[in-house]
């Protein structure tokens, strides 16, 4: 693992954009350096009418980390027509964000096509030694369970009774049972050496268990669902967590052992994961998300912006989100989603001891919205109205 001193020596503040944040953040920028030509005013007039119509079609529907969801019950929408309409809405909205009229509102930010492209935050290229705390045993197990719970909810939403889906649910059930057994062993109210021996009862010896069992279940689960296109993002998360499981597969998890032995096993898990997971590890990033937010979904935002230095020498990270309507609940949902992404960047920046202040700014756009600023968890979020 890199130490803070090593990072400070090798990375200047000016290298943050290209070397310190996830590689996907800067990918594609070189290919679209030139500003796009403004579209004719007639095009904007026709497109704006289309946007108005789409806001009615997409009422109570929003994008959450790349998924099209129903705001009423939080369910994932799988209807191809609705998903297509959401994609059309986002595409048209991005053209308006880059228009000359919008520059008068947010300056020359988001002018380049590359700045208006979406970004999935799913890995880190550089992390410092401080991030090794995410491999603590309870965080590791909790993240694995959350991955499986998310997958199970997605399968239930799709409602398919096909053989792969049914087999997948059985494997998930077996995996969760394993975690319950592990929890019984390592989270007992009192260690086994403090418990009185059983009276006049001979218990059958329980065979020792290892994390190899979970590796096998994750492998089978991946094979079972890898052809299901609508579960692609969930399967990628399974693949990411397999990376860590392979590192600890030989660690034994035994019943009825001393409290000291339980702690030793937990330390082995932490040590192996801390040593083995690389800087570009998606598994490590999943553990980071679980540590910061208690969730494991990759963070997705529609407009990825960039990093600039303002007049006061502060580094300004700006990202954005497109909303399908100006409903206050949807606006706040968007603010919270951007806040998660901004929080990840800030955490990594501060953990590495980077020189300079990182100023975080989120932008949200909705048709007909009023220009305003929302303060949330110490950051500023600018709400912009898309209009002719």
What does each of the 388 residues of the chain score in pLDDT, given as a tens digit? 333 333 223 322 223 333 333 333 333 333 233 346 678 889 999 999 999 999 999 989 999 888 899 988 888 898 999 999 999 999 999 999 988 888 878 778 888 888 898 887 777 653 333 344 567 777 888 899 999 999 999 999 888 889 999 999 999 999 999 888 766 544 444 333 333 444 444 455 556 678 899 999 999 999 999 999 889 999 999 999 999 999 999 887 765 556 666 677 778 888 888 888 876 788 988 988 898 889 998 888 899 888 888 888 788 888 999 999 989 999 999 999 999 988 888 887 776 666 777 888 999 999 988 899 999 998 999 999 998 8
Cα(188)–Cα(255) distance, integer angstroms: 11
Q: Any idea which residue has 């062993």 for tokens?
A: 185
Residues 227 and 164 sit within 8 Å (Cβ to Cβ):
yes
Q: Taking Cα atoms as reference points, which of 249, 240, 248, 245 lies closest to residue 283?
A: 240
For residue 388, count CB atoms less than 10 angstroms from its CB and return exposed for 0-12, middle for 13-18, buried for 19 or more: exposed
For residue 315, count CB atoms less than 10 angstroms from its CB and return exposed for 0-12, middle for 13-18, buried for 19 or more: buried
Helices (H), 187-327: 212-225, 232-248, 259-276, 282-293
Q: Taking Cα atoms as reference points, which of 383, 379, 380 lies closest to residue 366?
A: 383
Q: Taking Cα atoms as reference points, which of 185, 171, 172 lies closest to residue 253?
A: 185
Q: Taking Cα atoms as reference points, which of 138, 181, 109, 388 lies closest to residue 273?
A: 138
Cα(279)–Cα(285) distance, integer angstroms: 9
Coil, strand, or helix at residue 208? Answer: coil
Cα(209)–Cα(275) distance, integer angstroms: 23
Looking only at the bridges linking them, the beta strands covering 358-367 and 315-322 are parallel
Coil, strand, or helix at residue 379? Answer: strand
Cα(97)–Cα(106) distance, integer angstroms: 9
Map out the domains of the chain as residue ranges: 4-122+298-386, 129-191+208-293
Looking only at the bridges linking them, the beta strands covering 252-253 and 209-210 are antiparallel
Q: How far apart are the first and last CA of the chain?
A: 52
Structure tokens that stand for 155 in this block: 């399968």
């Amino acid at each position: 693992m890199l130490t803070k001193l090593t990072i400070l020596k090798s990375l200047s503040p000016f290298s943050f954009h290209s070397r310190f944040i996830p590689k996907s953040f800067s990918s594609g920028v070189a290919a679209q350096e030139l500003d796009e030509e403004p579209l004719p005013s007639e095009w904007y007039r026709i497109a704006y009418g289309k946007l108005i119509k789409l806001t009615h079609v997409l009422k109570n529907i929003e994008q959450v980390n790349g998924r099209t969801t129903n705001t009423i019950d939080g369910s994932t929408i799988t209807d191809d027509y609705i998903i297509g309409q959401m994609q059309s809405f986002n595409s048209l909205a991005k053209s308006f964000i880059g228009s000359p009229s919008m520059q008068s509102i947010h300056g020359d930010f988001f002018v380049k096509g590359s700045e208006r492209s979406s970004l999935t935050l799913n890995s880190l290229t550089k992390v410092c030694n401080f991030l090794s705390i995410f491999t603590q045993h309870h965080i590791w197990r909790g993240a694995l369970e959350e991955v499986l719970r998310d997958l199970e909810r997605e399968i239930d939403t799709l409602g398919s009774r096909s053989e792969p889906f049914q087999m997948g649910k059985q494997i998930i059930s077996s995996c969760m049972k394993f975690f319950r057994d592990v929890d019984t062993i390592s989270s007992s109210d009192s260690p086994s050496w403090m418990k009185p021996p059983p009276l006049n009862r001979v218990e059958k010896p329980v065979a020792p268990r290892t994390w190899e069992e979970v590796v096998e279940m994750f492998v089978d689960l991946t094979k079972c669902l890898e052809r299901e296109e609508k579960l692609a993002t969930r399967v990628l998360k399974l693949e990411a967590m397999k990376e860590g499981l392979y590192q600890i597969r030989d660690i034994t998890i035994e019943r009825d052992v001393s409290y000291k032995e339980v702690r030793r096993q937990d330390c082995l898990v932490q040590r192996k994961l801390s040593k083995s997971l690389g800087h570009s590890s998606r598994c490590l990033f999943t553990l980071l998300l679980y540590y910061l937010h208690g969730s494991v979904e990759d963070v997705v935002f529609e407009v990825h912006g960039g990093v600039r230095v303002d007049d006061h020498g502060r580094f300004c990270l700006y990202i954005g989100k497109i909303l399908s309507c100006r409903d206050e609940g949807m606006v706040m949902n968007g603010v919270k989603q951007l806040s998660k992404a901004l929080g990840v960047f800030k955490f990594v920046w501060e953990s590495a001891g980077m020189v300079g202040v990182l100023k975080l700014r989120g932008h949200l756009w909705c048709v007909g919205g009023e220009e305003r600023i929302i303060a949330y968890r110490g950051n500023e979020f600018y709400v912009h109205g898309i209009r002719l």
